[in-house]
Amino acid sequence: MIRTLTPSDLRKDISKQKIDWKQLKKKEPSRPLIGQERALKALEFGIGNKRGGFNIYVSGYPGSGKSKAVNHFLEEKAKLEETPGDWCYVNNFQDSFYPKKLKLPNGGGQTFKLEVQQLILEIQKMLINAFESKEYHDRKEQIIEEFRQKEKEFLKQIHRKARENNFTVTRTPIEILVIPTDREGTPLSDEEFNKLNQKERDQILAKQSELKDELFHLLQKNREIERESNKSLFKLDESISSYAIDTLLEELQEKYIGFEDVLLHLSEIKNDIISNLHDFLKASLQQEGPSYKQDVRFQKYEVNVITDNTNLSGAPIVLELNPTLNNLFGKLEHESYMGTLITNFTLIRGGALHRANGGYLIIPLKDLLFSYFSWESLKRALKNNEIIIEDAREQLGIISAKSLKPEPIPLEVQVILIGSPRWYYLLYELDEDFKELFKVKAEFDTAMDYSLSNIQDFAGVTYKMQRENDLYPINNKAMGRLIEHASRMADDRKKISIKFREIRDILHEADHYARTGEKKVIDVKHIEQAIEARYFRSNLIQEKINELIKRGHLMIDLTEYRVGQINGISILDLGDISFGKPNKITVSIASGKVGLIDIEREAKLSGPIHTKGTLILQGYLLEKYGQDKPVSLYASLVFEQSYSEIDGDSASCAELFALLSSLADLPINQGIAVTGSINQKGELQPVGAINQKIEGFFEVCAQRGLSGKQGVIIPRPNLDNLMLKKEVVAAVEKGLFSIWAVDTVDDGLEIITGFPAGKRLKGGSFSTNSVHCRVDERIRQLNANIAAVSASNAKEEHLSY
């Protein structure tokens, strides 16, 4: 069935809808996002399920409102949840290589840090005062005096023992000298000692050795007394310092009852100060008064707050736009010391996972995958429910500077990845962990149904954008034109695009033109100007191609009638713009058995889909004409002046028309272009970018001059996709350009040749003087030619014998 389209078929007019624009301007949109019910239901279910792998993948194309919807639901959900506590790292006094974590209540991290700082200051002050007090010195002097008296008594015994045996004792830093004396107590000189007989000398030496041993035991006992004295002094210091510290710790310990890790850390601070009391006091005194930050010796008592949720109400929402390993998991910073990089627990820095712990983390998937180690580390953290801070150089096996191994922090977070559908399907197929960790998919559409309620919702959102961005008011006609453009963006008259990023850009540009023209309102001409200007900025290549066609460099016939030649329409997609471009398709026929030759395929310029479309043509020929005979021919098909790869099957209908024209020896009107794919039964199937294809051919015709005999044949299923420019609609209304919608190949043949396609009659033939009849006769003639040649060759071969 052939349908010649009227202007009402080519464009949807919003003015036919009865809409109270004034009321919509006052009304706030009732829903956070329109046209995304499927995605919103997925978010309603998924957000808040932080365990069991119910993380969320938000799938959609740019401008579909993904981030806006996610933020809306997160804000509503997060504010009702409990605010997570703070996490800190403190020194591990047993092994500083493994810093310890502490969990504190919400806002307690900074408070505890200041409390510990104040504690150390007060301990410094109190210990200095305690050890400078008269009571301490009196008790210390008493212990020392007791030791001196015992030591003095021991020394008396040593000297008395020596005198009784005619010896004197002299103590040097390295040994004890026991020197023999005469009866008057005067030490014997070497000369006097040598004058003694051998027996006397031996007796003296034996007595000297015996006395040395005895004196050594006495000195050992004296050293035990000295050690006991030192222990007494240490116990005195410990008792005083312990009492002073306990007095200061009592309030903190009472405050943090129930926080075992905190109490243990406070106890370890006390023990470390007591164990290193001399250094602690020395450092305190060297600073000329108590101070916390002037000496690195006090650094080990600091508290490093990794997450501070003091000003947070509800669960945290963190958006990490640069998800590198360090930005996600934190890092260990280093300081240069005498040419060497060193670190300590105060240089541990938290990452996005620490800030989002207990809440939600939003990450753009593409950036995550392109960051080294980030994806695998994130999966490991989600599987193990813990955050491990590690140096990326260690994963590469590179020897780095001095490092630490901080204790892992428990992780409770819901990760929300935002990415395209393509990334989702690739990960789902190739990454076995992905489907276990991201069980919720929220898929965003790019269009919604063209209905009155949706039009009202679209307008409401647009008015809201206008107010939020402080743009000029949008009048009714401008809003209607914007909705019409949104329908064209969707490539479907029954849909409206909800790519509000692009809609917002058009509004901003229209606002600029309104302000430039000193208007106080955005009118329809400003919307038109913005749409046309955006197109104009990108269509330089299209204009160059059209110029080449106009000058005859690209040979496109628009007024002649040619056999085996037709104008197809291809689409060129440059990213920011796509446009239709006419292509001359020609077919040559000869006798042979090769069949259909696609020159593009032979030259390796044909994509797989185009090749499939060409093979379908062969199926059509066999189905239509090969029921009672073989279809033996040689047909070559080519896109003229095409030097790049061709793909897609939207030209298959045009190719078939050219092929049948050549077989039937019927000329085709070159002013009519054809787009559409076919199946083996001869039915036309819809194609993409139908508006751009029609407009592309129209512009080429318009620059040559519209004759009224030009137009485009499209598949009937593409009727719903038509949202053509007004100049095309106007040309159709004036009869200068035509657009036909057809269902089958037969319908199109009648338009482009002016002959009836023909029907199959009983016996297998076709109705007289029809296209199919002429094609069928030509195939029979080609078969006969082949049979005659084969018979002649056989006869010559027989005669040669």
Q: Give the up-direction half-sphere exposure of residue 68: CA atoms within 13 A in the CB hemisphere.
A: 16
Per annotation, catalytic residue among 693, 725, 738, 770: 693
Cα–Cα dist 41/25, whole Å: 28
Amino acid at 582: P
| Region at 604 (left for phi over 0; alpha for psi -120 to 50; beta for the rest) | left
Q: Who contacts 688 (Cβ-Cβ below 8 Å, separation ≥6)?
A: 491, 571, 650
Cα–Cα dist 168/170, whole Å: 7
From the list 465, 525, 538, 470, the residue with the least C-alpha distance to 499 is 465
**Share of the chain residues as helix, strand and coil, in percent rounded to the nearest 5:** 50, 15, 30
From the list 378, 321, 136, the residue with the least C-alpha distance to 243 is 136
Using CB atoms within 10 Å of the CB of residue 604, give its burial: 0 to 12 exposed, 13 to 18 middle, 19+ buried: exposed
DSSP string for residues in 397-425: T---SS---PPPEE---EEEEEE-HHHHH
Cα–Cα dist 338/341, whole Å: 8
Q: Who contacts 687 (Cβ-Cβ below 8 Å, separation ≥6)?
A: 648, 650, 675, 676, 677, 693, 714, 715, 718
Cα–Cα dist 131/282, whole Å: 12
Do the beta carbons of residue 335 and residue 291 sit within 8 Å?
no
Catalytic status, residue 525: no
Do the beta carbons of residue 563 and residue 774 sit within 8 Å?
no
Do the beta carbons of residue 166 and residue 180 sit within 8 Å?
yes
Per-residue three-class SS string for 316-364: CEEECCCCCHHHHHCEECCEEECCEEECCHHHEECCHHHHHCCCEEEEE
Do the beta carbons of residue 256 and residue 263 sit within 8 Å?
yes
Per annotation, catalytic residue among 374, 650, 652, 661: 650
Catalytic status, residue 650: yes
Cα–Cα dist 320/328, whole Å: 8
| Per-residue tokens: 130 | 């305690």
Cα–Cα dist 133/693, whole Å: 98
DSSP string for residues in 718-755: GGGG----HHHHHHHHTTS-EEEEESBHHHHHHHHHSS
Do the beta carbons of residue 72 and residue 362 sit within 8 Å?
no
The residues carrying an active-site annotation are 650, 693
